[in-house]
Amino acid sequence: MGWMAEVGTLGVPAELAALWARGTEFLGTETALLGGAMSWVSERHLVSAISNAGGFGVIACGAMTPQLLEAEIAATQALTQKPFGVNLITMHPRLMDLIGVCHAAKVSHIVLAGGVPPGPAVRAVRDGGARLIGFAPALVLARRLVRTGVEALVIEGSEAGGHIGPVSLTVLAQEILPHMRDVPVFVAGGLGRGEAIAAYLRLGASGAQLGTRFAAARESVAHARFKQAFIRANARDAMPSVQIDDRFPVIPVRGLVNEGTQRFVAHQIATRDRFLAGELTKEAAQLEIEHFWAGALRRAVIDGDVEQGSVMAGQSVGMVTAEQSVAEIIGELVEQAAAALAPA
């Protein structure tokens, strides 16, 4: 019987189980593998599939209203009895209401992302009894988050898909893992194989978060054309968005290069020229640039417009070679990690 068949029946080998024991204990799972929170992708079907396969699914709340989040949590709970979390964006105007929804639904873990979590939100999560996970892009912030009450950290490298920071996971792991022993730390960004996960566990990580491989899973609601774009792509096809003028900052987002990304460069140049000609104020020009991608992620994920939409993907996209079930993906990762840890 191979590892794929054994995941979900406590078939994780002893050395791997020991290395990520802190992570599995914190999450309440068989494997310390989290699903990255991806808007339009990380919903009830994918989240429940990850949790049912022994991982830890995470709902991407994004811009949901409290009512929509309440319905999504209930729908996920109808599909799994296993633990899962909810990712909330700290800049959401109704953040405190969303935390209240999570508590009312007895969600076990809340992830606060997209910025430094405000103190009242941290206290609200902890006072309501949920476990709190935060993102740390640097050691100084990791220490600050732990002091304020964050119970576990995700360090995500620039290899990841979607909104990214400037530092690779290879560097972040060396900067943070040796110095953060008080809380579980999960690594993320560019992860596609179990051998790499095993290496980070040996460096002190408590588990790993993956998004790109799960986005193309059979249980993902993403459009068939979206998944096929992943299967066809190589690592070098997943590039950060380009900024053409420092006066008009662009938040870096990693995705597959397509007609839309090329049009975005031309749009920035045209908008900048209109500003220089006095046709637009600086503020209006910035809004013109920011609005270019409005609705573009949904167009790619749900509608399948992979040429004009935003096909967010990490550099691990080159390791997506087929549409697999979530259980197959997790089983493969465990098998690879186990082989890497086995005595020579």
Name the pTM for this structure.
0.94
Question: Would you state the structure tokens that stand for residue 13, as one six-digit string?
Answer: 């080998």
Residue 1 pLDDT level (bands cut at 50, 70, 90): very low
The pLDDT tens digits of the residues spanning 298-335 come to 999 999 999 999 999 999 999 999 999 999 999 999 99
The token pair that represents 10 in the structure block: 């406590």
Rounded percentage of the chain residues whose pLDDT exceeds 70: 97
Hey, what CATH class is 3-222+319-338 in?
Answer: alpha beta
Phi and psi (nearest 5°) for 99?
A: -60, -40
- Residue 11: pLDDT band (50, 70, 90) is confident
pLDDT digits (tens, 9 = 90+) for 240-257: 999 999 999 999 999 999
Domain boundaries, the chain: 3-222+319-338, 234-312
DSSP state of 53: T
CA dist 21 and 1 (Å) reads: 24
Using an 8 Å Cβ cutoff, are 176 and 188 in contact? no
103 and 129 in contact (C-beta within 8 Å)? yes
